[in-house]
Amino acid sequence: MTDQLALEGPAPKKSSPIPAIGAIAVLCLLGLGGGWFVGKMLFVPAPPAAAAPAHEAPAEVAATGEHGEAPKAEAHGEPAKDGHGAPVGPSLVSLDPIITNLGYPAENWVRLELALQFNGPSDPAVVQELHQELMAYIRTVPLQQIQGPRGFQYLRDDLREIVDLRTKGRVSKVLFKTFVIE
């Protein structure tokens, strides 16, 4: 019988679970770190304007008063109008609708209604010049360039750039009211 044990050799050892547990722990840590990194890359903080208190009056109501009367002085002592009677705060100006055909195909039409938020008082001459400039730009845009959400974002960026160049930063926002392609 001793001959039989001598031929088989020593009994095989059972493998330890420690290397497998260590490998799983390392993979979990890599997954957590990668998830955190991707989350930081994709996270877009909310703009500070969205955090404004809800109890403040909208700009249009503040510019004309609650019941259409002249606005009163602000709580901290600043007048609501300057010496010439123009509003001091931001003003919102609606452009006339832009209705024109696209660059290609020419049989497609676009109707675009925009509003511009000026940092101070608006200038009617600048507003009319911007209307003509934006209409001329829309006439050159092909339909393929503005299709889908990414195309719409590119159009918004292009219009914003035109407005920024023409007004030298006096317009803080370009707001879309209507955008229809036929």
Please give the average per-residue pLDDT across 5-25, as a whole number.
Answer: 78
- Per-residue model confidence as pLDDT tens digits over 77-122: 343 455 555 546 688 899 999 999 988 888 989 999 999 998 888 8
Lowest-pLDDT choice from 4-13, 25-34, 56-65, 81-90: 56-65
The CB-side HSE value for 125 (13 A sphere, CA atoms) comes to: 0
CATH, domain range 90-181 = 3.30.479.30
Q: How far is CA 68 from CA 17, 91, 174, in A?
A: 79, 16, 26
pLDDT of residue 72: 46
Rounded percentage of the chain residues whose pLDDT exceeds 90: 41
- Per-residue model confidence as pLDDT tens digits over 114-162: 999 988 888 889 899 999 999 999 999 999 999 899 999 999 999 999 9
Chain CA centroid to CA 110, Å: 23
Contact 170, 127 (CB under 8 A): no
The CB-side HSE value for 160 (13 A sphere, CA atoms) comes to: 12
Report the alpha-carbon angle 41-42-46, nearest 5: 110
pLDDT of residue 77: 39
Tell me how far apart the alpha carbons of residues 41 and 84 are, in angstroms, rounded to a whole number.
48
Residue 90 has what DSSP assignment? Answer: -
Q: How far is CA 165 from CA 6, 88, 146, 159, 170, in A?
A: 93, 23, 21, 10, 10
Spell out the domain ranges in the chain: 18-86, 90-181
Residue bearing tokens 């088989």: 8
Segment 109-112 long-range contacts (CB within 8 Å, at least 24 positions apart)? 109/181, 109/182, 110/138, 110/179, 110/180, 110/181, 110/182, 111/178, 111/179, 111/180, 111/182, 112/138, 112/176, 112/178, 112/179, 112/180
- pTM for the structure as a whole: 0.51
pLDDT of residue 36: 87
Tell me how far apart the alpha carbons of residues 44 and 129 are, in angstroms, rounded to a whole number.
35
- Per-residue model confidence as pLDDT tens digits over 20-41: 999 999 999 999 999 888 888 8
